[in-house]
């Protein structure tokens, strides 16, 4: 059996349990984490007795805080594909599996962690879960799922508010707007997820496979938007502005984004002054 460093993986009673095991950093993921998630989930194709997969995070405080800043701050235009391709690879792996993939969310589910949830088929959360897209606050760009799927799931206006204002939603709020499927007490999360799994195990596997493919048909046509989004993101990584946002978060201070607006204004003023000559 494959030994993993960043995740836990087990198959029990026809269910594959995949756990991001980096609680020290709120289950933030790095390149190795993404590689292991892809490998583990793809391996379920080799065992047709597996009825569904569950993706979750270790510990009580976070499902996933998204991308690990220490990994993302090493990215730039030249190496962006090393990260972006992995994100796309995990998304396509989850959406391409012939079995339902359940996101079991406990605690913080932010940024890329929320995008991971968006790639899954159904979402169950504990009462202490919080969902959000924090890219605008830290100089990142949620164009690998959030800009594609959030408008379809919660509506255009709320999606823009969630992304532009970095608005967060409690579990109950997320349920009300249709972002997730179910909320349960923290101590009942795993049992309630198992109940979902047992229900799925009692259903026709060929029907589940066919209907998942059919349900994905329209949104699969957004693949071009994913490619576009990854190219936009490639031009964000490594910029002074994105590094300021992430470093500010690590320093526990407010980012100084206004200086970039003022710098751009000064450059435009110089250009306009040249036109007047």
Q: What is the structure's pLDDT at 80? A: 93
Q: Is the pLDDT at 58 greater than 90, yes or no?
A: yes
Q: Indicate if 161 and 34 belong to the same structural domain.
A: yes
Kindly report the average pLDDT of the chain as a whole number.
96
Is residue 2, in this structure, part of any structural domain at all?
no
Tell me if residue 267 falls in helix, strand or coil: helix
Q: How confident is the model at residue 161 (pLDDT cuts 50, 70, 90)?
A: very high
Q: Indicate if 73 and 182 belong to the same structural domain.
A: yes
Q: Could you write out the DSSP letters of every residue in 148-204? A: HHHHHHH-HHHHHHHHHS--EEEHHHHHHTTS-SEEE-GGGHHHHHHHHHHHHHTS-
Is residue 262, in this structure, part of any structural domain at all?
yes
What is the rounded average pLDDT of the residues 167-181? 98
Q: Is the pLDDT at 79 greater than 90, yes or no?
A: yes
Is residue 1, in this structure, part of any structural domain at all?
no
Q: What is the structure's pLDDT at 223? A: 86
Do the Cβ atoms of 104 and 31 come closer than 8 Å? Answer: no
Q: Indicate if 92 and 150 belong to the same structural domain.
A: yes
- pTM as predicted: 0.95
What is the rounded average pLDDT of the residues 16-28? 98
Is residue 198, in this structure, part of any structural domain at all?
yes
Q: Indicate if 167 and 207 belong to the same structural domain.
A: yes
Q: In the chain, at which residue ranges do the beta strands (DSSP E only) sit?
A: 7-12, 15-20, 52-57, 62-64, 101-105, 108-110, 122-126, 130-132, 168-170, 182-184
| Domain total of the chain | 2
Q: Indicate if 205 and 250 belong to the same structural domain.
A: no
Q: Indicate if 143 and 245 belong to the same structural domain.
A: no
What is the rounded average pLDDT of the residues 166-189? 98
Distance CA 53, CA 188 (A): 18
Quote the domain boundaries for residue 263.
240-275
Q: Is the pLDDT at 132 greater than 80, yes or no?
A: yes
Q: What is the structure's pLDDT at 8? A: 98
Q: Indicate if 173 and 252 belong to the same structural domain.
A: no
What is the rounded average pLDDT of the residues 63-82? 95
Q: What is the structure's pLDDT at 277? A: 77
Q: Indicate if 129 and 247 belong to the same structural domain.
A: no
The enclosing domain of 189 has a CATH number of 3.90.226.10
Q: Indicate if 133 and 250 belong to the same structural domain.
A: no
């Amino acid at each position: 059996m494959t030994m993993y460093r960043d995740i836990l993986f087990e198959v029990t009673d026809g269910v594959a349990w995949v756990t991001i095991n980096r609680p020290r950093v709120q289950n933030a993921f790095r390149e190795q984490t993404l590689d292991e998630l892809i490998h583990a989930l793809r391996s379920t194709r080799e065992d047709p007795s597996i009825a569904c997969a569950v993706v979750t995070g270790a510990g009580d405080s976070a499902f996933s805080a998204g991308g690990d800043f220490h990994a993302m701050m090493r990215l730039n235009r030249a190496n962006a594909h090393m990260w972006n391709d992995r994100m796309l690879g995990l998304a396509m792996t989850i959406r391409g599996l012939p079995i339902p993939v359940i996101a079991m969310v406990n605690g913080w589910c932010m940024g890329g962690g929320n995008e991971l949830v968006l790639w899954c088929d159904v979402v169950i959360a504990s009462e202490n879960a919080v969902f959000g897209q924090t890219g605008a606050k830290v100089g990142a760009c949620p164009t690998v799922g959030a800009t594609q799927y959030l408008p379809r799931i919660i509506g255009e206006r709320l999606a823009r508010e969630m992304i532009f204002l970095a608005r967060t939603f409690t579990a109950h709020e997320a349920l009300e707007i249709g972002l997730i499927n179910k909320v349960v007490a923290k101590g009942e999360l795993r049992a309630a997820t198992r109940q979902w799994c047992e229900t799925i195990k009692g259903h026709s596997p060929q029907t589940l496979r066919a209907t998942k493919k059919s349900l994905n048909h329209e949104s699969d046509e957004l693949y071009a938007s994913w490619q576009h989004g990854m190219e936009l993101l490639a031009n964000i990584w490594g910029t002074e502005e994105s590094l300021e946002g992430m470093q500010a978060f690590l320093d526990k201070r407010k980012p100084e984004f206004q200086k970039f607006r003022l710098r751009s204004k000064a450059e435009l003023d110089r250009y306009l002054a040249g036109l007047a000559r």
